[in-house]
Amino acid sequence: VAQDIINNVKLKCCGIKVLYKNKQGITMCGIVGYIGFRDAYPILIQGLKRLEYRGYDSAGVALINNEGVMNVYKEKGKVSNLEALTSQRDISGQIGIAHTRWATHGEPSAINAHPHVSQSGRLALVHNGIIENYSNLKILLEKEGYTFKSSTDTEVLVQLIEYMQKKYDKSLENATIMALRMVVGAYAIAVIDKNCPDKIVVARKSSPLVIGIGADHKEFFIASDALPIVEYTKQMVYLNDNEVALLKIGKKIEINNLNYEDITPEVKEVNISLESLEKGGFEHFMLKEIYDQPRCMADCMRGRLLLNEKRIVLSTINMHRERLMKAERFIIVACGTSWHAGLIGKQLIEQWANIPVEVEYASEFRYRNPVISPDDVVIAISQSGETADTLAAFQLAKENKAMCFGIVNVVGSSIARASDTGIYIHVGPEIGVASTKAFTGQVTVLTLFALALGHERGTISKEEYESTIEELGNIPEKIKSVLAKDEEIKDIARSLTYAENALYMGRGFNYPVALEGALKLKEISYIHAEGYPAAEMKHGPIALIDENMPVVFVATHHQLYKKIISNIEEVKARNGRIIAVVTEGDEAVKEIAEATIEVPSTLASLAPLLSAIPLQLIAYHVAVEKGLNVDQPRNLAKSVTVE
Ligand code: G6P
């Protein structure tokens, strides 16, 4: 019957091509919902604040009060603007949904903000994703007399659900399934109906959605990730693609897929401490996360780096030894900072395990016809585990039967779940949009993996294996000693405040560090910065150098040290301003540079774990000095689920 209805509706599209093939295109926003016995508003607002890192163009909330009236408030800008709007208004109600938005369709405005309400005012819906065929659906609905207030794809979806509900006299959950069967695109949605204030319907495809279950099913929480839920319950269900869940007070969760088949919910116990979500006395999350790094590294290596026994234990190698040993090639796919970590991983794996590694921007990889063989291992590196391009690249690898190996921070995220195996970096929630501790966590995991693999394959000498293990154990303390130089770094950073451009140079293992340093500066201080392998300077960037161009060199005492000194001299000869990260006790660079920052001596292969820290701090202090929003820089989002 359902199929007949769908077909019927499809026919009614009068030749409009409702279904088409492109399944890409996802967006990033945060959604929160609550149903139960408490006041929903404070839970929703607090939840939005925890999700604000996902987007902060506008925010909104819909609540059904005890008289069955639905109040919807929406405001442009941050959640605090929404709070200002709702003061003195009716915010009562024990059921509600809320949203923080990063605009895709339609400019950031109160009208385009979610929740969107259906024509009759009965339904409200929040959505994270993109409905790709929304314009065709809109034409269909307009023919049926529907009118639209906003220019969003989401409003089309809520109208479509209402259309199904009315036309076919269906329950909210069945109408939602019927509507979603017509939708092409990506979504995590939550819908409420003021005529049925005892339920919320949620659904997911390609955008994350977590359900928290209160005691005896007397309350339910929903959110884009576990952060808004964790203070209320640890029992969570991660909805899978094409699933629709009915959350009804006093009843167990009912899940159906889009073919109306019953799905048994898989309840997981999630343990994240709320304390780890707070700023812990620091002015910004980014600074807290930079300072977290010694502890994060220790957490990341715990149980994996056995210092006394001088060995590394990784369950992924124990469980998948044969498959990993026969790998002919690794392909690393990632974006942004994670891609930089991948470049370091390539050098480590090639050096120790003697297996060729390619490092690809996930967004490029997924759209060409890459050669992937079943003997390849494709490593996706992602802090959030939700980056759309990385996930799609991974899916491509899966289709080609390669092994999918995830290096992810967020437990239970989409990439984590799509992995055949992998290693969590375990650095705890990273809230600052500019990634810091996740980068060092990723590099740490790649180091452990490359060492362990090299050892298994017999391609690393016992001496190098053991001495690297020993030195890895020293790195957290050495990071602490870099952090102790923060005041000095802050002074040096001041000299960059008014720069319009900056160059970052490094060689060998420090080349990706230079890229990462430049990215950090761009992201949060809005200064144009480029990273280069230092020897490439003479093939172009040198033309930019004059007395106004700061050049940050990562020139620690390793095999290419002498060569990089020549590069520094070349900048000096053109009056460039030189800031250099050097090894403790360095003399040669100090003589030439305007300022140097010393980091403790370590092995070349581990240098990035130390030299990245001053560059993170430089970017941080420049942004603070410029009075910018460090944790939520303009136009960026933490979890880029948009292609
Ligand atoms: C965004 C973030 C970056 C991050 C990149 C990849 O651009 O702002 O900090 O490096 O996405 O994110 P992922 O979660 O996949 O590591």
Write the pLDDT tens digit of every residue in 265-283.
Answer: 999 988 777 666 667 778 8
**Catalytic residue flag (residue 638):** yes
Q: Whose CA is nearest to atom 3 of ligand 1?
A: 336
- Burial (CB < 10 A; 0-12, 13-18, 19+), residue 609, is buried
Binned at pLDDT 50, 70 and 90, residue 192 comes out as very high
Torsion sign (Cα): 282, 286, 291, 295: positive
* 431-441: pLDDT as tens digits: 899 999 999 99
How far does the centroid of ligand 1 lie from the alpha carbon of residue 226, in Å?
Answer: 18
pLDDT at 19: 28
What pLDDT, on the 0 to 100 scale, is given for residue 50?
85
Whether residue 483 contacts residue 475, with contact meaning beta carbons closer than 8 Å, is answered with no
> What is the Cβ-side half-sphere exposure of residue 286, based on CA atoms within 13 angstroms?
29
d(CA 455, CA 348): 13
Q: Which of 620, 299, 621 is nearest to 429 (CA)?
A: 299
With a 6 Å cutoff on the Cβ, whether 436 touches ligand 1 is: no
pLDDT value at position 106?
Answer: 62
Tell whether ligand 1 has an atom less than 6 A from the beta carbon of residue 383.
Answer: yes
254-257 and 243-248: which strand pairing?
A: antiparallel
Only one residue has tokens 């603070």, namely 624
Residue, of 306 and 639, whose pLDDT is higher: 306
Catalytic residue among 29, 196, 335, 404: 29
Q: Residue 339 Cα, ligand 1 centroid: separation in angstroms?
A: 9
Q: Which range scores top for mean pLDDT: 46-55, 302-311, 405-414, 619-628?
A: 619-628
pLDDT confidence of 1, banded at 50, 70, 90? very low
Residue 2: its pLDDT value, please? 38
Q: What pLDDT, on the 0 to 100 scale, is given for residue 104?
A: 58
Query: 359 near 346, Cβ under 8 Å?
Result: yes
pLDDT digits (tens, 9 = 90+) for 221-253: 999 988 899 999 999 999 999 999 999 999 999
Is 29 assigned a catalytic role? Answer: yes
Q: What is the pLDDT of residue 537?
A: 84
pLDDT per residue as tens digits for the range 109-138: 888 899 999 999 999 999 998 898 999 999
pLDDT at 101: 82
Higher-confidence residue: 426 or 92? 92
> Rounded CA gap, 579 and 567, in Å?
13
pLDDT interval class at 311 (50, 70, 90): very high
Share of the chain above pLDDT 90, in %: 76
Choice from 411, 638, 642, 643 to test ligand 1 binding pocket (greatest atom count within 8 A of CB) = 638
Q: What pLDDT does 226 receive?
A: 87
Q: Give mean pLDDT, residues 527-556.
A: 91
Q: Is the CB of 633 under 6 A from ligand 1?
A: no
Phi, psi of 529, deg, nearest 5: -140, 145
pTM given for the model: 0.72
Q: Is the pLDDT of residue 4 over 80?
A: no
CA distance linking residue 483 with residue 598, whole number of Å: 11
The response to whether residue 512 sits with its C-beta less than 6 Å from ligand 1 reads no
* pLDDT value at 580 more than 60: yes
482 or 49, which is more confident: 482
Whole-angstrom distance, CA of residue 255 vs CA of residue 108:
33
pLDDT at 497 over 50: yes
Residue 209 CA to residue 502 CA, distance in Å, equals: 40
**pLDDT number for residue 643:** 65
Q: Compute the distance from residue 334 Cα to the ligand 1 centre, in Å.
A: 9
pLDDT at 24 over 70: no
For the cut 70, the answer to whether the pLDDT of residue 155 exceeds it is yes
Regarding predicted confidence, which is higher, 307 or 12?
307
Average pLDDT score, the chain: 91
Atom of ligand 1 nearest to the CA of 523: 8
Given the DSSP bridges, would you call strands 357-361 and 262-263 parallel, antiparallel or unpaired?
A: unpaired
